[in-house]
A and B are shown apart, each in its own frame.
Chain A
Amino acid sequence: MSEPKTTSVDVNGHPCRVWTKGSGPKIGFLAGFGGLPRWIPFLDRLAESRTVIAPSMPGFPGATGHNILDTHLDWLVAARTLLEKAGLDGADLAGSSVGGSFVAEIAALWPQSVKRIAMIAPFGLFDEKDPAADVWAQRADDVPGLLCADAEIYKALKAMPAGANSVEWPIEQTRAAEAAARIFWPLGNTKLERRLPLIKAPTLLIWGESDRVMPRSYADKIAKAIPGGAKITTIAGAGHLAELDQPDAVAKAVLEHVGQA
């Protein structure tokens, strides 16, 4: 697993990290809850046949500037600016969890800016009869097992690497949870449902079979609200962040949807 190229773009005067790897047509990826403190195998799989570009949303690892975004409109404009500056205008776009929600928003509000989209268990909805879990009200030890089918995978993602700053590393991880909270507190409901009918791009929805955060029923709701419908793929042995649990299977599903090249 080789390292990606790291660059930075400016969003509202704050730097946002952009990772790039591979060759071929571009595909963007917006990370899920907790962000990407390190490169992950899932992005390597995509990079085998695509140019993968993974920009960090404000406040997620590698980026700051979340705390000047007050309204959902602020966040949407920031996401759009970030994708444009990362060179993803008109590209295929994938996103997981928190990031998946922005994939839907971008495709709804700026339909010309995306080709095909893939979302892994996106945030944005809340159903009282089938509530999503409260990711911000958890004992620290319970978080990895809530987000991934294999808790060890999430722990490894978040583990401090040798030589990292032992003060700044944990703060960066807390900041990622805060950024997500700033957008989605308290229920995760941004009324995304109202904008789903604007989506025109061919859409794939991916759901971990053992997702303990987002109920599977949300996939059907989302698919139903998109005029062209959406293909739903369930991934065995995967939790909420399916791309971490099953990088090969999720990458395969995404690549099949967007086309290998």
Chain B
Amino acid sequence: MKMLWFHLMPYTELPDDFKEKHPSVWVDIHSSLFDPKRAHHMYNDFLDELEYAAECGYDAICCNEHHSNGYGLMPSPNLIATALARRTTDTAICVMGNSLALYNPPTRVAEEFAMIDCISGGRLIAGFPVGTPMDTTYAYGANPSQLRERYNEAHDLVMRAWQEKDTFAFNGRFNQQRYVNIWPRPIQQPHPPIWIPGAGSVETWRWAAERDYVFCYLSYYGYKMAQNVMKGFWAEMDRLGKDRNPYRAGFAQVVGVAESRQQAMDLYTEPAEYFYGRCLHVDPRFASPPGYTTEATQRAGLESQVKMAAEASKAGPSTQAPSAMKMQMLARDMKGIVDNGYVIVGSPDDVTDQLMELAKTLNIGQLMLLMQFGSMSKDLTKYNTRLFAEKVMPRLKPLFAEWENKWWPQPMAKSARASLPAFAGSAPAAAE
């Protein structure tokens, strides 16, 4: 099993009364809450934490893209990935990812990802999210009715740009370029591994499977609430005749480990309540721009609602509900957060057991770990990261050894790679 250390880069100093006084952490969060001089320290702490995770032996370090967002300070994940490429040596760098439809022209993504792949010596995992409604349609003004069509076309353009040997003209519906010829070109051939973050949409599962990409379910609500989505995903893989290789799927999980369960509760309550209480406070008016959810997905959601109503069963938050809607129904206190399984906290044994259960019930080979969450300090983040690496990681690593991970970067041979100037991670005796 692969373990990826994922940073959202939250602004860690939102005020205590944030939820009461401010309508949304996203889109129209007020600029007065942002102190650039504090952000200087946050960015540098976050980069330290990612580099530390690489040092501790995580298989990959991950970053992602958000806009106008108080819990995600990475409008450009590519900047972060490039900084990391120069301060790590062997760890894969997972950019989860670039929202293709937002780049004009989309070949910008092909270029920047190729740059990261070259600088890192072929360590890039290329994520292609559609992007949330908040990021794409509201913060960036993308038309929700065209977003997916533009995403699909941009994907085709980027893939051709990486693979075609000669300059070509792209005559698309939304993008027209006379001379497509990207320099630099990616080290990994025919292209870096492609991972698709998504939610419970059958169309996305199918689209990813047809192209043999990894599907990642990036939920903040834990593995218990993810059961139905992943069951649906694997059932769809069966229908498509794909094997149940667990490396086809990724899942994000918030984790806090300590010596004991009680100690974990003491340490992680504050950052967890900060994350679920302040970071995920999104105004529902930004939840569902019309057209963002396809009619097929709306139909599936409505049909299951109708079915549930007919069976008079009590429906939880629908897996089809837009993310900002789900965020309205969240538990915000630690008891609810833990009882609902959003976070896994406990002793190394507790955490190992639950992650084993996660991996086996969801059949997940690419596990993305959110180990800095909310207002968590650098010290606590490093403690969490180190303890997990020492006590939990070795027990999870052998899982799924019988499967081949065909979706992992293929870097240049170590001996052929550039030597970087000395830093903690590159020193021969770095791992104490």
B377 interface contact, C-beta 8 A: no
* Residues in A whose Cβ lies below 8 Å from that of B173: 70
Please tell me if B388 contacts chain A, counting CB pairs below 8 Å: no
User: Interface residues of B: mostly helix, strand, loop or mixed?
Assistant: helix
Are the CB atoms of B138 and A182 closer together than 8 Å? no
Q: Is the CB of B143 within 8 A of A181?
A: yes
Q: Are B290 and A174 in contact (CB under 8 A)?
A: yes
Residues of chain A lying within 8 A (CB to CB) of residue B169:
none
Q: Across the interface, do A136 and B289 meet the contact criterion of CB distance under 8 Å?
A: yes
Is there a chain B Cβ closer than 8 Å to A167's Cβ? yes
Tell me, yes or no, whether A170 is within 8 Å of chain B by CB: yes
In the complex, which residues of chain B have a beta carbon less than 8 angstroms from the beta carbon of A67?
145, 149
- Are A185 and B298 in touch, CB under 8 angstroms? no
| Cα distance, A204 to B183, chains bound together (Å) | 57
B174 near A: Cβ within 8 Å? Answer: yes
Distance of A136 Cα from B291 Cα, bound (Å): 11
Is B302 among interface residues, defined by CB-CB distance under 8 A? yes
Pick from B141, B145, B149: contact of A178, CB below 8 A. Answer: B145
Q: Which of B242-290 contact A (CB under 8 A)?
A: 284-286, 289-290
| Of the residues B141, B144, B295, B302, contact of A175 by C-beta under 8 Å | B295
Q: Mark B138-150, 1 if CB is under 8 A from A, else 0.
A: 1001011110010
CA gap between A100 and B295 in the complex, in Å: 27
A138 touches which of B137, B146, B285, B291 (Cβ 8 Å): B285
Is A171's CB within 8 Å of the partner chain B?
yes
Q: How far is the CB of A124 from chain B (nearest CB, A)?
A: 16
Distance between Cα atoms of A180 and B286 in the complex (Å): 17
Most buried by A among B289, B290, B302: B290
Q: Of A137, A139, A175, A185, which contacts B143 at CB under 8 A?
A: A185
Residues on the B chain within 8 Å of A178, using CB? 144-145, 290-291
Between A and B, how many residue pairs show CB distances below 8 Å?
Answer: 60
Type the 1/0 row for A171-212, where 1 means its CB is closer than 8 Å to any CB of B. Answer: 100110111111001100000000000000000000000000
Would A182 and B291 be within 8 Å (CB), given that A67-B145, A70-B174 are in contact?
yes
Q: B224 within 8 Å of A by Cβ?
A: no
- Which listed residue (B141, B143, B290) contacts A177, Cβ 8 A? B290
Cross-interface CB contact of B302 among A136, A142, A166, A179, cutoff 8 Å? A166
- A137 touching B285, Cβ below 8 Å: yes
Q: Are A139 and B298 in contact (CB under 8 A)?
A: no
Residues of A with C-beta under 8 A to B138: 137, 186
Q: Are A174 and B298 in contact (CB under 8 A)?
A: yes
Q: Does A66 contact B (CB under 8 A)?
A: yes
B303 contacts A137, C-beta separation under 8 Å: no
C-alpha gap A139/B145 in the complex (Å) = 19
Are B286 and A70 in touch, CB under 8 angstroms?
no
Nearest neighbor of A136 in chain B, beta-carbon distance: B289
B222 to chain A, nearest CB (A): 27
Minimum distance in angstroms from A182 CB to a CB of chain B: 4
A137 interface neighbour in B289, B291, B299, B306, Cβ under 8 Å: B289
Q: Which of A166, A167, A181, A186 contacts B290 (CB 8 A)?
A: A181
Give a binary string over A109-146; 1 marks a CB under 8 Å from any B CB, 0 the rest: 00000000000000000000000000011110010000
CB atoms of A166 and B146 under 8 A apart:
no
CA distance A137 to B284 in the complex (A): 9
Chain B residues near A180 (CB, 8 Å)?
290
Residues of A within 8 A of B302 (CB): 166-167, 170-171
B188 CB, nearest partner CB in chain A, Å: 34
Name the B residues within 8 Å of A177 (CB-CB). 290
Separation of A179 and B145 alpha carbons in the complex (Å): 7
List 8 contacting pairs A-B, 8 Å CB cutoff, sorted by A: A137-B138, A139-B284, A139-B285, A166-B306, A167-B306, A170-B298, A182-B291, A186-B138
Apart from A67-B149, A177-B290, A186-B143: 13 A-B pairs, beta carbons within 8 A:
A136-B144, A136-B290, A167-B306, A171-B298, A171-B302, A175-B290, A178-B145, A181-B143, A181-B144, A181-B145, A182-B143, A186-B138, A186-B141
The 6 A-B pairs at the shortest CB distance, nearest first, are namely A178-B291, A182-B145, A177-B290, A178-B290, A185-B143, A167-B302
